[in-house]
Amino acid sequence: MTDPMVLIFLSGGLFLGWSLGANDAANVFGTAVGSRMVRFTTAALICGVFVIIGAIVSGTGTTLTLGKLGAVNALGGSFMAAFAAGLTVYWMTKFGLPVSTSQAIIGSIIGWNLFSDSYTDISSLLKILSTWVLCPLLSALIAALLFTFAKSLVRKVSIGLIRLDGYTRLALILAGAFGAYSLGANNIANVMGVFVPVAPFQEMQFGSNFSISSAQQLFLLGGLAIAVGVFTYSKRVMMTVGSELMTLTPLAAWVAVMAHSIVLFLFASERLEQLLANMSLPTIPLVPVSSSQAVVGAVIGIGIIQGGREIQWPRIYSIARGWVITPLISCLICIIGLYFLQNVFQQTVKRESQYQLSAGVLEKLQEEGINTEGLDTLSGSVFYSSAELVRVVKEKVDLSGRQGLKVVEYSLQNRLVINSEKIDSMNKQILSPQQLEALQQLEGQNYKFPWQLGDALGAISEEWKLREGGLKNKLHDRKIKQKLTYLYRIFQEREK
């Protein structure tokens, strides 16, 4: 039986999902609805269905990146982070502004980090911030190239106006379906990413070959919330994107949707990343990018190709101001909300954690290439916040952002107990036969630090070893770390 408090806390994520659907559906079908080529009801139905599919099938990649920025470790904190972002997006939606849900949740996570004195990984933050610039520029470039190609193709192919109109409607619907899938895959991290570290559901097993993980259950709920938002409150923003930024022809509307959808897909597809890595090409970071920025960039790209005279620049500036203030408002609301939730309503917004710089941890950090010469005096020291830990370590040695994350990761105490009961209850399809055999050999062992389990498995089987360096090794290591994270959740000793 699910604890009622769990459902109450999850309502923050569901509200954010509803707000995202109300706002970002405009980016998928706004140009089609605004140009009167597709009815709102049709657009909402297609968008809702494909958002859910994209969230469940391809939502994992961007969620991992968001988790590096700040792992909210209590349901109360996750609720307030999601609620603050949802409230910010709702207010912006009420004013008809297609704001960025990505920016809203980033602001909330930073707010939680500040309130809980948790370490903020600057490198992960900069990676996400860089996409706020890259996303609209890339979308504008793709739209400009695609529009030029599409115009040339239409001129060369002689098609009657009625048939062309029919083809355009179909193309808009297909592009919208692709866009909705990409939206679900990329932006579900914004809706439910803060809940993944504290996922309250047990894995659901159906037969021997099919299961739904706790994260996928969260993604399903988030996708449904987005779909409800599309149906109930997205029409006004659709008209803003579809008609107020620039008057779009049906062909231009299709190009805008396609360019937006391609950009979201590029930043969400693990398979594309794997393909690029196998070809020894640079990979695209899996980051939740702004759907709003992508579609606005696409419209601007089309407008510039046409000379730029029809672009409603004052409206663009208004939307851009919304992008700047969105994370600031969300951060402030989150901090205030966390204070009241903790001190007035007596709810846990941050689970107490302990970080210890034991001799084993210092040795592990040294293996990672971190200078530990000045840390001997801290051996055995215990810290109760990750930010405090990193501040004290930085007083002794220089740390990069990535090294700061390593210090936090290896110092975190989280006792794991390996027993047969928990091994029997887990989804064995996740592991290869060799990996499962290695795990079974550790039955009866317990570990003070989670990384000790990973090291023990790697010592038994090559299939558990991490390979540092190179694009292919990076993808291999990510899969291993995903499996280890699953094991940490399974074998964690629960608080009594």
Which of these ranges, 57-66, 101-110, 299-308, has the smallest mean pLDDT? 57-66
Q: What CA–CA distance (Å, rounded) separates 187 from 370?
A: 34
Model confidence at 451, pLDDT cuts 50, 70, 90, reads very high
**DSSP letter for each residue of 120-159:** P-HHHHHHHHHHHHHHHHHHHHHHHHHHHHHHHHHHHS--
Instruction: Look up the pTM and report it.
Output: 0.84
* pLDDT at residue 69, as a whole number: 79
The pLDDT tens digits of the residues spanning 161-192 come to 778 778 888 998 999 999 999 999 888 888 88
Radius of gyration for the chain, computed over Cα atoms and rounded to the nearest angstrom = 24
* pLDDT at residue 494, as a whole number: 63
Element (H, E) at 417: strand 416-417
Q: What CA–CA distance (Å, rounded) separates 34 from 45?
A: 16
**DSSP letter for each residue of 264-326:** HHHTT-HHHHHHHHHTT-PPPP-----HHHHHHHHHHHHHHHTTSSS--HHHHHHHHHHHHHH
Report yes or no: 106 and 69 within 8 Å, Cβ to Cβ: yes
Q: What CA–CA distance (Å, rounded) separates 206 from 428?
A: 13
Is residue 72 left, alpha or beta, with left meaning phi > 0 and alpha meaning psi from -120 to 50?
beta
**DSSP letter for each residue of 448-460:** SSHHHHHHHHHHH
Which of these ranges, 145-159, 252-266, 306-320, 401-415, has the smallest mean pLDDT? 306-320
Phi, psi of 399 (to 5 degrees): -130, 135
The two tokens of residue 346 are 């007596």
The two tokens of residue 493 are 């000793």
Helix residue ranges per DSSP H, 70-100: 75-94
What percentage of the chain carries pLDDT values higher than 90? 40
Give 484's contacts (C-beta < 8 A, 6+ positions apart).
450, 453, 454, 457
Q: In angstroms, how far is CA 405 from the centroid of its own chain?
A: 18
Report yes or no: 229 and 22 within 8 Å, Cβ to Cβ: yes
Which of these ranges, 43-47, 147-151, 306-310, 387-391, has the smallest mean pLDDT? 306-310
- Is a pLDDT exceeding 80 seen at residue 334? yes
* pLDDT at residue 402, as a whole number: 82
Q: What is the mean pLDDT of residues 378-394?
A: 93
The pLDDT tens digits of the residues spanning 267-324 come to 888 788 778 877 877 778 788 888 888 988 998 999 999 888 878 888 788 878 888 8
* pLDDT at residue 1, as a whole number: 41
Q: What CA–CA distance (Å, rounded) separates 360 from 288?
A: 36
Q: In angstroms, how far is CA 189 from the centroid of its own chain?
A: 3
Q: Supply the mean pLDDT for the chain.
A: 85
Report yes or no: 340 and 76 within 8 Å, Cβ to Cβ: no
- Is a pLDDT exceeding 50 seen at residue 496? no
Task: Please calculate the CA angle 261-132-149 and round it to the nearest 5 degrees.
Answer: 40
